[in-house]
Structure 1
Amino acid sequence: MRHRHHFHADHAGHSVTATVETGHTVLVEVLVDGKETGSVTGHGDGAIVVHVELPTDPPEQATVRVKPGPGDPSCLFETPDAEPRIMSPRAY
């Protein structure tokens, strides 16, 4: 059975949203300011890493690390200039 989980973080005036669809195959989609900037498919409970670029001047690299399970997934947002932080779950 597939389940969708949503996570959010704000960084440097930009909105970063991750959707994690769990099941036999795990699909992670990352949106920056409402535009899809990265997606990765994985299998099982291993960590999934999605690299994205924030539209700053100059563009800033960021990473969303997803732990799909066991249990509910979690997301960590990382940039080179800030401490990693847990992305807040959202109930859409």
Structure 2
Amino acid sequence: MRQRYSFHLDQAGHSVTVNVRSGWITETELLVDGKECAFHRVHGHGAYPLTLAGQLAEEPPVPLAVRLDRTGVAEHPLACVLELDGAARAMPERVGR
């Protein structure tokens, strides 16, 4: 059975979203302002920790990274952190997605 997780944070006037679809194949995508800027695909339930890199469309572009890791808690098995401008912020899980 496939599991779906979605994390979202509005940061510096930009939208950052991470979607995970896990099952036989796990696909993870990073969207910045609705555009896919990183994608990871692996057979199985995912290899964690996983870091995806992207950038904010600024002049000059601002690099960012999102880090996913297992929590060990059944209700919320994944945690996602946005790393931007030297700071790390937890990305809340979107419920009902």
1:1-92 to 2 correspondences below 5 Å: 1-42=1-42, 43=44, 44-68=46-70, 70=72, 71=74, 72-79=77-84, 81-91=85-95, 92=97
Cα–Cα, structure 1 residues 38 and 45, in superposed 2: closer, same or farther, change >3 Å? closer
Aligned letter for 1:35?
K
Distance 1:2 1:69, change over 3 A: farther
- What residue identity is the alignment partner of 2:56? L
What is the distance in 2 between the residues matched to 1:90 and 1:24?
Answer: 23
Deviation readout 1:63-82 (Å, 9 max, x if unpaired): 01111565421111001x24
Identity over aligned residues, as a percent? Answer: 36
Which range moves more in the overlay, 8-17 or 20-29? Answer: 20-29
TM-score scaled by length of structure 1? 0.85
Aligned residue pair count: 91
| Root-mean-square deviation over aligned CA pairs | 1.8
CA distance in 1, matches of 2:57, 2:31: 12
Amino acid in the other structure paired with 2:22: T
Secondary structure of 2:93's aligned partner: strand
TM-score normalised per structure 2: 0.81
**Residues in 1 aligned to 2:62 and 2:89: alpha-carbon distance in whole angstroms:** 16
- More strand per residue: 1
